[in-house]
Amino acid sequence: MGRTPAIFAGILFFWAGFVASISFFEAWLKFQAPGVTLPIGLSIGKLVFTVLNRIEWVLLSLLIVLTIRHAKKFPKKFFYISSIIPAALLIQTLWLLPELTRRAEQIIAGNIPGESSAHLIFGVVELLKVATLIYTGYYTVRLFKSSHLKH
């Protein structure tokens, strides 16, 4: 299997850091900058989260290719744990991001949208995804060290 576990874990840890830095820092810090109004901040957020989502799909695709190439070497527990990642990404892509984009566009247009729990749910899913990315990276490193993934 060569360097595949290290590459796999590297992608997982990079992805976790990437999402954490954007979702847990940039998302709210931009509103603290002088001159950034709510509509400007929401416009920036829409752009950043759209690009982040696309990059996440690329990273997931890379992980799927690596997993398929070496599927027989991974224990079933690995697949159960790692399945949370694409599930979270699907929920965000198909439901939460479109809902949050619609709400942002309403606010940018000067309207006040009704109550929604989409933002809270997005944050919970994001936390779950980041935790799973980190744990799956750690789990992959442990598997490699215990020789399940060697050669």
Show pLDDT as tens, one digit a residue, over the chain (151 residues): 567 778 899 999 999 999 999 999 998 899 999 999 999 999 999 999 999 999 999 999 999 998 888 788 788 888 999 999 999 999 999 999 999 999 999 999 999 998 999 999 999 999 999 999 999 999 988 887 776 555 5
150 within a domain of the structure (yes/no): no
- pTM for the full model? 0.91
Number of domains in the chain: 1
Residues 22 and 52: beta-carbon distance below 8 Å: yes
Range of the domain at 50: 4-145
**Residue 151, domain member (yes or no):** no
- Has residue 127 been placed in a domain? yes
Whether the CB-CB separation of 128 and 120 falls below 8 Å is answered with: no
Question: What per-residue confidence (pLDDT) applies to 55?
Answer: 98
